[in-house]
Structure 1
Amino acid sequence: MKRINTLALLLVLGLCYAPAQAQLKGFGIGPYLESGVPVGSFSDAYNTGWGAGIGAIINLPAKLAVTGSVGYMQFSGESNIPDLKAIPVRFGLIFRSLPIIYLKAEAGAANYTGDGADGSAFILAPGVGVRLLKFDFQAKYEAWMKSGTNGFFGLKAGYYF
């Protein structure tokens, strides 16, 4: 799992350093901010989470695109529960049902960090989004699965160069 995460991180970072003059048609990269509201038993122990990162998108033919992101996400714990901190690495596929509206499915790994960090969780994240010029807004449900599921509804806003 760590080898996959390292390769994913190197891929996203490599895309970040692509020369600006290359101007690959249909390619975008940029920062994003996100929030997540825990649901189910996850909401019993944690409050709203906040995160930031960098994402990339490569447009493909037939209304499809490939996407990837790496970031940092933190959920504050209730009373004596330590905060849950992670570095999520996600890859996915986008289907544009209409010119500005899309459906998205992502998978990846949430690598836990900080005090009491214990490995990684598998990520599944379906969602729907709107792309207006260089701005991207998305609503999703994201599940981090390890020994049980930590699920949350999320909102994500990004800007692609």
Structure 2
Amino acid sequence: MSEPASPNSIASVLEQLAEAEAARAEPQLTSRQRRARTVARLAAVQALYQMELAGEGVETVISEFENHRFDAQIEGEMLAEADEDWFAEIVRGVVTSQRGIDTAVKARLASNWRLERLDATLRALLRCGAWELMERPKVPREIVIDEYVELAKAFFDEAEAKFVNAALDGVARDVRPKD
């Protein structure tokens, strides 16, 4: 796997995600609510990455995002409003259920790969997506997979995005066999 690419800007990542969102929709949510969830997912990936690299606790990171990152200017742009409750659910859920999530993800890796060998951002993407697939059955599996694939595209090359797609699709088949 290659190193994650640094996106040009937060604004460009959000623009890329907005374009992808136009192709799909969570039917029960308004456009603004869908956008807020997309931002929450991006923030959750960033939070898990930060926790892993800095060794910070879950509540510390959630508080930092809620108090300093949401609705703040980043790179001269206002960060879109996030669904802060969804963000906190994802981050807490991944931390609480990490053992089961990792087991589900590992089952979808090639036999010679270990989760620990993956880039920290890629691990965060897979963990967040797997948690949503496992714990939020009302969110359509296509939405979950598409959102995290688009996030992967914001940070990685096409190969990693395809990897995220395949891994999360496999997790979905395992945990939502009737979907």
* TM-score calculated relative to the size of structure 2: 0.28
Q: Which is higher, the Rg of structure 1 or of structure 2?
A: 1
Higher relative contact order (CA closer than 8 Å, sequence separation 6+): 2
> Which structure is higher in strand share?
1
> Which structure is higher in helix share?
2
